[in-house]
């Protein structure tokens, strides 16, 4: 093959390859959603979140994540964080509330929240290239409800953030993920692979050890009745809803009894219903 032919092939391959990540336009918002086809960061005009003080019953997780995020915003070392545990106990709410609290304390820190869907994890390398090109900003990658099934290969893409590969994770990026599962995959699938594998100890090590790559593990557990009622009372105070305490307690307990559970989500759903009945508007 002559040199001209090789040159034409090289030029054709170069046209097919994606361009290097360019620094995104970040001035318009503090939060973004990552989209593919084409790759872009879509600004979020207003983040749906509650104030940090309204998150009751998760004090240790709140304080730990806030301290880690403040370190990161100041350009200091910080850990990736996995928030795992009971449904509806404020895992994703805490990530968004901490982001807002840090911006309130340090408005010029350049801290950005970037949400990425689990299905888009294979594109995360391209996203990291884009964020690496904006060294003046600090980015929290936020993946909500993260989990993997038996034959799911998306977890391999996640290692680009947790381990960083040859290039390493950009210094201006940290990952916060939420999951109902501590090891990011169902326990029955872990046991099935162990029982059917030639080397049981190695069969699921790659997937299970993925959670070990998070520097922070923050556990969330079902709340008791006192915390449940405290959440609702906090919402009433924050939104100016005045109601007889005995009536509030009775209706709140009846609500959770019909739902068969207590959680921050159930508390907010009750308050939403109560605010509607009492003619109180809610803005988040």
**Residues 124, 118: Cα–Cα separation, whole Å:** 10
Give 169-190 pLDDT, tens digit per residue.
789 999 999 998 776 765 555 5
Structural tokens at position 258: 């019909």
Work out the average pLDDT over 87-111. 95
* Helices within 165-220 (DSSP H only): 187-196, 200-203, 205-208
E strand residue ranges, the chain: 31-35, 40-43, 81-85, 111-115, 138-143, 173-179, 216-220
* Helices within 74-139 (DSSP H only): 91-105, 124-132
The percentage of the chain sitting over the pLDDT mark of 70, rounded to a whole number, equals: 77
Give 125-149 pLDDT, tens digit per residue.
899 999 999 999 999 999 998 877 6
DSSP element (H, E) containing 259: helix 245-259
Give 202-229 pLDDT, tens digit per residue.
545 655 667 778 899 999 998 999 999 9
Distances (CA, A) of 132 to 17, 114, 129, 165: 19, 13, 5, 14
- Residue 83 CA, chain-centre distance (Å), reads 8
């Amino acid at each position: 093959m002559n040199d001209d032919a090789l040159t034409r092939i090289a030029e054709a391959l170069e046209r097919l390859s994606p361009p290097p990540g360019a620094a995104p336009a970040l001035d318009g918002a503090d939060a973004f959603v990552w989209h593919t086809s084409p790759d872009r960061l879509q600004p979020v005009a207003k983040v749906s979140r509650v104030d940090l003080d309204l998150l009751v019953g998760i004090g240790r997780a709140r304080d730990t994540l806030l301290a880690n995020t403040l370190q990161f915003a100041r350009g200091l070392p910080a850990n990736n964080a996995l928030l795992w545990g009971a449904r509806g106990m404020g895992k994703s709410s805490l990530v968004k509330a901490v982001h807002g609290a840090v911006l309130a304390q340090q408005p010029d820190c350049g801290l950005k929240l970037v949400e990425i869907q689990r299905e888009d994890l294979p594109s995360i390398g391209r996203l990291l290239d884009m964020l690496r090109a904006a060294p003046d900003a600090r980015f929290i990658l936020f993946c909500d409800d993260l989990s993997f099934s038996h034959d799911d290969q998306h977890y391999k893409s996640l290692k680009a953030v947790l381990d960083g590969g040859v290039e390493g994770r950009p210094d201006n990026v940290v990952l916060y993920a939420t999951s109902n599962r501590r090891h990011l995959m169902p326990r029955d699938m872990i046991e099935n692979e162990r029982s059917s594998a030639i080397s049981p100890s190695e069969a699921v090590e790659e997937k299970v050890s993925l959670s070990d790559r998070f520097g922070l593990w923050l556990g969330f557990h079902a709340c008791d009745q006192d915390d449940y009622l405290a959440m609702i009372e906090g919402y009433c105070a924050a939104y100016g809803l005045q109601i007889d305490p005995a009536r509030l307690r009775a209706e709140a307990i009846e609500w959770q009894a019909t739902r068969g559970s207590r959680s921050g989500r159930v508390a907010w759903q009750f308050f939403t219903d109560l605010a509607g009945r009492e003619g109180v508007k809610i803005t988040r």
